[in-house]
Structure 1
Amino acid sequence: MSHLKYSNYEGYGDNHASGYSQAVRVGDIIKISGQGGWDPNTEEISTDLAIQIDQAFANVELTLRQAGGRGWEQVYQIRCYSAPISDEAIAHLVRNVEKYCPNYRPIITGIGVAKLAYENMMVEIEVEAHLGS
């Protein structure tokens, strides 16, 4: 599939993405695999929900730029997985969407799950972005 361009960011993206990529570019679309609240350099995951959500949104930005995008202004779809889903999690997600997408409202799906991939992981953000003008 030579028309697809896969990418990972240095640190966590390279170290933990065995068997998968952080992003794939398909024409004018970048699809980002679920980004958690890990520090991309130290790989640590905070036990604080707000810090995890803030870091997950920052990791999406990092992944988008690594894949050739400009950033959040190109995101049109967001999927948020939360373990568990709560009013607190939703409030932090909304705060970040307002911060990163101040001039528009992307489509969003929020999903409550029993558990995510890593111990202490409470949130995972997956997005799609369009690179066109």
Structure 2
Amino acid sequence: MNKPEFFVTPGYGETLLNALHYSQALKIGDRVETSGQGGWDDDLQIPESIEDEIAQAFQNLERTLATAGASWEHVVHVNSYHVGGFPPIVNETMARLYRHYMPNHAPIWTQLGVAALGLPTMRIEIRVTAIVP
């Protein structure tokens, strides 16, 4: 059995490791799992616009996947967690970013509405599974 390797995203990942003692990604064999990535910057600040917050979460996933040797092209499953429901702009932004980051495939996706996330101002958190051949 392969031994799991844990990865910490430079910047915010180091802050969260020190504060809350968790890693941003795990690789075991050819599988990479990420913890939920919010739309925060390295100072854990959240943009005002939901579109910018979602876009930042996708960028944070890209950074986190890279720490474990993966990229969006390897993503096969997405879970997204949403505070405030699903106004049209949320799904429009998610679909636009899926097409941008994964133009050659469409992953499976589970979308959940939740009451709250880890930071009080967060409205989205996204976690992914990637398979790296």
Task: Give the TM-score, by structure 1 length.
Answer: 0.92
Offset, 1:89: 1.2
Q: Report what 1:73 is aligned to.
A: 73
Alpha-carbon displacement from aligned partner over 1:50-99 (angstroms, at most 9, x marks no partner)? 00000000100000001122x10000000111102212211111111111
- Is contact 1:11–1:43 with CA below 8 Å preserved after alignment? no
Q: Deviation above 4 Å: which 4+ runs of structure 1?
A: none
Q: 3-state DSSP class of the match of 2:117?
A: coil
Q: Shift in Å at residue 42 of structure 1?
A: 3.1
Q: 1:55-74 residue pairs with structure 2 within 5 A?
A: 55-69=56-70, 71-74=71-74
Whether 1:34 aligns to 2:36 is yes
Q: Distance in 1 between matches of 2:105 and 2:79?
A: 16
Structure 2: 5+ residue stretches without partners: none
What amino acid is aligned across from residue 112 of structure 2 in structure 1?
Answer: I
Partners of 1:29 and 1:42 in 2: CA distance: 29
Choose from 20, 23, 39 the match for 1:21.
Answer: 23
Report the secondary structure of 1:108's partner residue.
strand
- Find the aligned partners of 1:43 and 1:115 in 2 and give their Cα distance: 16
Unaligned segments of structure 1, at least 5 residues: none
Quote the Cα distance in structure 1 between the aligned partners of 2:78 and 2:111: 8
**Counterpart in 2 of 1:52?**
53
Output the aligned Cα RMSD. 1.5
SS in 2 for 1:51: helix
CA distance in 2, matches of 1:83, 1:89: 11
Q: Aligned partner of 2:58: which letter?
A: F
How many residue pairs end up in the alignment?
A: 130
